Amino acid sequence: MSGDLQRMDDEVEAVNILLVDDKAARLLSYRSILEPLAQNLIEANSGTEALRLLMERDFALILLDVNMPDMDGFETAATIHQHPRFEKTPIIFVSAINVTDFDRLRGYKLGAVDYVLVPVIPEILRSKVGVLVELFRKRRELQISNLRLADANAELAHANAALHSEKNREVHRLNQTLQLANEALEKTNSNLHAEVAERSRAEQRLQDADRRKDEFLATLAHELRNPLAPIQSALGVRRLMQPRDQQDAELQGVMERQLRHMVRLIDDLLDVSRITRDRLELRLEEVRVIAALETAIELAKPLMLDANQHLHLNFSGRDCIVRADEQRLAQIFANILNNASKYTPSDGNIWLDCQADTAQVTVSVRDSGIGIEADKLDVIFDLFRQIDTSLERARGGLGIGLTLVRRLVSMHGGTVQAYSDGIGAGSNFVVNLPLCLCPALPASEVQTPVARSLQRLRIYVIDDNRDAADMLALSLSTIGHDVRTCYASLSFVALASAFLPDLIFMDVGMPHLNGFELAPLVRAQSWAQNSYLVALTGWGQEEDRLRSRAAGFDEHVVKPADIETIERICTTVQNGAVRRQ
């Protein structure tokens, strides 16, 4: 094995990450955040020192402070990427102040892949750095495979050249020469087979790494739901309280919109993980397309309102029915509307049209945005693909929304296509879905509920996350219920037997005794026969809901639960809900 090959093999095991900041305290914080990744963390106190270290070794990525004396982050990045050896080295800028769109554009032109604002959120920084490290490793592994294959090809070419030369010089010794050449060829083929086998193993390692990445995305999305739950509950409590002034109401709205946006991003992460593992499921039923479109508009409306954009509707296919998963159908149209809003400037226009013929319904979302280059129309649905323009960068995104659209449309038996006349000409996304060949849905019969006096409920919240338990309990107390909390699953049965709760909110992922193990124990108590059990969890697939039902839960709620969901559950119990048997 050559020296370069050996060096690259070593780098795959643990890569170098350069941390550049003139503040020692920040360097220490970066190190504490990134040490769980088990990589080589190398520090530099200035741009000049960073350049010196770059000449000594290779780095998978550079975490670079923007505001440094003498040579700031932008100058350092420009100098680094002027060198051919480092022009592809990814740079994450760190800034203690808000950066303008011009600064972001300047950074991206200098080769930055992302910005991180101080104070740094450890999970986000580790996630971004982890992705870049994994990409660096994969690139190194591929280079190693290519070098090995090149070595094998060189050996084979050398053997063939030796055979040709020997045949020309010693015709009279043809038999002996052929025998020697065949032996050399056999050896070369053996080496080639070994290299091919090694390449297959390398490909398998790449597949394993990709699988681990998918599992990581699923786990990351689940874990992100846990801290969002108490935030959601706290915002629900604030909403139940009267705002002091208009400014307080506006702040409440901002926090709620951003939390909903974070939940949608987490849902997208879960969905893309399920898609890559072929675990995405549909609940098919007869659905009015107009209902899914109205839901999608509600989901996309906050983004459009923030940008002061104008939505124009034309629903000539109002009564058409498709066989679909209504929630997923709304997700398709909401993702396309969000995409149109992200790529359309303020005061721009978005047109949503729905038309139908005898066989299919066509929904198109057209915008007056930045448009799409012709050579990118076929790749914008690829995973993590984003259009590289300053306007788009200002809006951000994970680059997975359109991937979900294409897969979900395909699972519904339809097609989706993007059209654009080029940069500045806007874009048009067209979804075609087959109509349901069955009679129209009957109008639903509206039943007037029987009026009941809604009593004050006795409620227990059990969660090992104290913040989550306390915030949910505060929400329930604010709407008038008698609430107790428990942080340890092992002691819950004894505590609850003295309180006799009507309703129990139980976290599933608790240590020592998880919710699936605790629920049957609760159900075995005589006082719990009519108690209503709600599972709180970050997992929301059908198999997870079935598992909750089998354990004895009456309802399965995916974190973070909003105040409307909590109130609905309480009202259900107050109205005399009969526990499922």
pLDDT in tens, 251-270: 666 676 666 666 666 666 66
Record the tokens describing residue 165, joined without a space: 């030369």
Q: Phi then psi for 34, rounded to 5 degrees?
A: -95, -10
> In the structure, what pLDDT confidence band is assigned to residue 112 with cuts at 50, 70 and 90?
confident
Q: Can you list the pairs that 147-153 forms with residues at least 24 positions away whose Cβ atoms lie under 8 Å?
A: 147/2, 147/4, 147/5, 147/8, 148/5, 148/195, 148/198, 148/199, 149/195, 149/199, 151/2, 151/195, 152/188, 152/191, 152/192, 152/195
Question: Whole-angstrom distance between the N-terminal and C-terminal Cα of the chain?
Answer: 67
Lowest-confidence segment of 211-220, 332-341, 484-493, 521-530 by average pLDDT? 211-220
Question: Among candidates 415, 398, 418, which has minimal Cα distance to 406?
Answer: 415
How much is the average pLDDT of 312-318?
80
- Give residue 354's pLDDT: 92
> In the structure, what pLDDT confidence band is assigned to residue 3 with cuts at 50, 70 and 90?
low
> In the structure, what pLDDT confidence band is assigned to residue 271 with cuts at 50, 70 and 90?
low
Distance CA 234, CA 429 (A): 38
Task: Please list, in sequence order, all residues whose beta carbon lies within 8 angstroms of the beta carbon of residue 24, skipping any fewer than 6 positions away.
Answer: 45
Distance CA 242, CA 186 (A): 85
Lowest-confidence segment of 174-183, 207-216, 364-373, 494-503 by average pLDDT? 207-216
Position with higher pLDDT, 440 vs 519 = 519
- Give residue 108's pLDDT: 77
Distance CA 576, CA 457 (A): 11
Position with higher pLDDT, 573 vs 302 = 573
- Give residue 453's pLDDT: 45
| Residue 370 reports pLDDT greater than 70 | yes
Amino acid at 8: M
- Give residue 53's pLDDT: 92
Query: Helix or strand or coil: residue 555?
Result: strand
Distance CA 174, CA 127 (A): 64
Q: What is the pLDDT of residues 539-553, one digit of tens each?
A: 777 788 889 999 999
| Residue 351 reports pLDDT greater than 90 | yes
| Residue 287 reports pLDDT greater than 80 | yes
- Give residue 349's pLDDT: 93
Position with higher pLDDT, 563 vs 214 = 563
Task: Please list, in sequence order, all residues whose beta carbon lies within 8 angstroms of the beta carbon of residue 278, skipping any fewer than 6 positions away.
Answer: none
Q: What is the pLDDT of residues 403-444, one digit of tens each?
A: 788 888 888 899 999 999 888 888 999 999 999 865 444 444
| Phi-psi category of residue 367: left, alpha or beta, with phi > 0 → left and psi -120 to 50 → alpha | beta
| Residue 371 reports pLDDT greater than 60 | yes
- Give residue 116's pLDDT: 86
Position with higher pLDDT, 134 vs 379 = 134
- Highest average pLDDT, of 274-283, 435-444, 472-481, 534-543, comes from 472-481
- Give residue 227's pLDDT: 72
Task: Please list, in sequence order, all residues whose beta carbon lies within 8 angstroms of the beta carbon of residue 422, skipping any fewer than 6 positions away.
Answer: 371, 372, 373, 374
How much is the average pLDDT of 8-24?
78
Query: Helix or strand or coil: residue 487?
Result: coil
Lowest-confidence segment of 149-163, 361-375, 392-406 by average pLDDT? 392-406
| Residue 323 reports pLDDT greater than 80 | yes
Mean pLDDT, all residues of the chain? 80
Whole-number percent of the chain with pLDDT over 70:
77
Distance CA 521, CA 496 (A): 12
Task: Please list, in sequence order, all residues whose beta carbon lies within 8 angstroms of the beta carbon of residue 111, skipping any fewer than 6 positions away.
Answer: 77, 80, 81, 87, 89, 90, 91
Q: How many alpha carbons lie under 13 Å from residue 481 in its C-beta half-sphere?
A: 26
- Give residue 434's pLDDT: 92
55-77 as b/e, with b when 16 or more CB fall inside 10 Å? eeebbbbbbbbbbbeebebbebb
Position with higher pLDDT, 431 vs 5 = 431
Distance CA 545, CA 557 (A): 9
Position with higher pLDDT, 197 vs 261 = 197
